[in-house]
Structure 1
Amino acid sequence: MTNLQKKMFIVITILFAIVLSMLGSLTFAQKIEPNQLNVQYKTLKDEKIPKSMNDVSIVYFTDLQYGKFENKKRANKLFDTIRHLDPDIVIFGGDLFDTSCQMSQQDIDYITNKLSSIQAPLGKFCVLGEKDEANNDVIRSILNQSQFEILENETILLTNEQKDGITLSALSNSPDVSKISISNQQYNLLISHMPDTITNEDLSTKAISLALCGHSHGTQITFPIFGGYKSIDGAKSLNRSHAKRLSFPYIISTGIGCTHTNLRFMAKPEVYYLMLQNK
């Protein structure tokens, strides 16, 4: 074999390996990753968490996007997981149905029953996503029937049958930061559907302990080195590929469902299991 032949063989081998890798990644992104569900366990330790809230658990999930891609099989996996985790508090971050879904009465009944079946003795809470607002009356009816309290530009106190507790603040897609009233003496959770909302400079003066966001789906498809394949409104300045240093820590969940395309790569669906601990 001549030197030229050796070089050609090496080039062809490399190209062949790249093609195989791309095909393998595409298969994984289409057939495997969208059907997976990770549980991210995180302990929140802070001296501001009262002893009465010690070992209280919170499940946070977002962007179910039930419809064209998120079918009953996938959704059942989510609800079975939440039931297994047996949380004290449940927080939903918005976007119940995908915009491509023509909601039938059967779909509405199914989601209502599944959300209603979630047991959370200390409360079920949520914010609305932009897709929820497109079907505002129907989504509000489903959430209300399922005993989810819809929070919009407000702060509530979460307790465990005691006077003290932690706060949960919510910013809607038309945020009004002035309505977030919290004390630096308390542990303060903040939830916003869109990550860009929490970059508001006025929040830097608030004593936020942890913010929870969704919306971006972890960019749904993330390329090594290059990051997400696209950014979307509401998650352009802050997403899994573009972090920012804020005055408080935050979590941007990859969410549950798929939108626009039935693909996920390096952005597995996930729920968060948060355990409160008095430090």
Structure 2
Amino acid sequence: MKKRWKRILSALAAFIFLSFCYARYVEPNLLVVKEIAVETDKDMEECKIVFFTDTHFGSLYDEGHAGEIADKINELEADIVVFGGDLFDNYTRDREMLDLEYLQKELGRIYAKSGKYAVFGNHDYGGGASRIYREFMEECGFCVLVNESAFLEEYGIEIVGFDDYLLGGTEPDSYLLQSENFHLIITHEPAGSKIVEGSGGNLILSGHTHGGQVSIPYFTRKRLPAGSDQFVKGFYKEPVPVYVSSGIGLTRYPFRMFNIPEIIEIRILARNI
């Protein structure tokens, strides 16, 4: 009986050790592309959007990953590239260790036929990043939208970027979209999606949650950050289509488990009637 318990305890210890190594050293360094298709009744050209978010470059996720991120995105030959916020984890804490010149070069070579767009996340305000975020992203070729929109006539898509839900400033009326265009809406925290109203087609892209970063039933929902609401990760179709990405980088602790860093490829398709 003692030998049996020793074997069980040894197997359990080995499982815990291997799980720790995987969550600490393997999964955070993976990067996958997930594909989704969204149909609309709008008469519009097919469009490929590539969405990435929550890189949290800093002490837990170094800027050396930016080259792989740029390569993966460019392989997808996007019409539009969207960044959902939280570029740095804590800029004041980590700025001495970050190679900003390298990071700017790599993000700058991301290519999209019809433009690159970004919004603020809460970490782009907190940690001192608000001093440099907009200028940095613009120098990387991104148009930073703060309660603003950009209409892409060739696709019939209106890109709407909201300020950060937690730390930014957005008037309630701004969430009422009055045009009949297809709206591609970027709001860092998915809780913002619940107050968006308007006609026309809508697709909302969010991040922020990291999918809990370590995905454990019950525990994960308890550890989601403010602004997540009931959203964890993935595609939610009701009441408005929302994709919540589990993001790329790390924050708070250096682990990922069952939340592989992801880039999202979205095809907007006119529904055949």
Amino acid at match of 1:37: L
CA distance in 2, matches of 1:264, 1:106: 22
Residue 141 of structure 2 aligns to a residue whose secondary structure is: coil
Assess if the C-alpha contact under 8 Å between 1:155 and 1:181 holds in 2. Answer: no
Q: How many residues align?
A: 264
Match of 1:175 among 157, 164, 170: 170
Residue 258 of structure 1 aligns to a residue whose secondary structure is: coil
Partner of 2:36: 42
CA distance in 2, matches of 1:20, 1:60: 37
CA distance in 2, matches of 1:99, 1:114: 20
CA distance in 1, matches of 2:236, 2:183: 20
Assess if the C-alpha contact under 8 Å between 1:69 and 1:262 holds in 2. Answer: yes
Matched, 1:133 2:128: no
Partner of 1:221: 214
Partner of 2:81: 90
Q: Tell me by how many angstroms 1:145 deviates.
A: 1.3
Assess if the C-alpha contact under 8 Å between 1:218 and 1:254 holds in 2. Answer: yes
Q: Tell me by how many angstroms 1:259 deviates.
A: 1.1
Amino acid at match of 2:110: I
CA distance in 2, matches of 1:192, 1:206: 18
Assess if the C-alpha contact under 8 Å between 1:216 and 1:254 holds in 2. Answer: yes
Residue 132 of structure 2 aligns to a residue whose secondary structure is: helix
Assess if the C-alpha contact under 8 Å between 1:171 and 1:177 holds in 2. Answer: no
Matched, 1:235 2:264: no
Q: Tell me by how many angstroms 1:21 deviates.
A: 2.3
CA distance in 1, matches of 2:69, 2:43: 28
Matched, 1:113 2:108: no
Amino acid at match of 2:174: K
Assess if the C-alpha contact under 8 Å between 1:254 and 1:267 holds in 2. Answer: yes
Q: TM-score, normalised by structure 2?
A: 0.85
Residue 227 of structure 2 aligns to a residue whose secondary structure is: coil
Partner of 1:254: 246
Assess if the C-alpha contact under 8 Å between 2:40 and 2:270 holds in 1. Answer: yes
Assess if the C-alpha contact under 8 Å between 1:221 and 1:228 holds in 2. Answer: no
Residue 223 of structure 1 aligns to a residue whose secondary structure is: coil
Question: Which residues in structure 2 correspond to 1:67-216 (within 5 Å)?
Answer: 67-99=58-90, 101-104=93-96, 107-134=99-126, 135-160=129-154, 165-173=156-164, 174-180=169-175, 182=177, 185-200=180-195, 203-204=196-197, 207=200, 209-216=202-209
CA distance in 1, matches of 2:142, 2:96: 21
Label 1:106 to 1:220 Cα distance change in 2 as closer, same or farther (>3 A). Answer: closer
Residue 158 of structure 2 aligns to a residue whose secondary structure is: strand
Q: Tell me by how many angstroms 1:236 deviates.
A: 4.3
Q: Tell me by how many angstroms 1:32 deviates.
A: 0.6
Question: CA offsets, 1:63-93, max 9 Å, x none?
Answer: 1111112224322211111121121111000
Label 1:158 to 1:11 Cα distance change in 2 as closer, same or farther (>3 A). Answer: farther
Q: TM-score, normalised by structure 1?
A: 0.84
CA distance in 2, matches of 1:49, 1:116: 33
Residue 177 of structure 2 aligns to a residue whose secondary structure is: coil
Q: Name structure 2 gaps, 5 residues minimum.
A: none
CA distance in 2, matches of 1:225, 1:213: 22
CA distance in 2, matches of 1:10, 1:49: 67
Q: Tell me by how many angstroms 1:270 deviates.
A: 0.3
CA RMSD of aligned residues (A): 2.6
Q: Tell me by how many angstroms 1:228 deviates.
A: 4.7
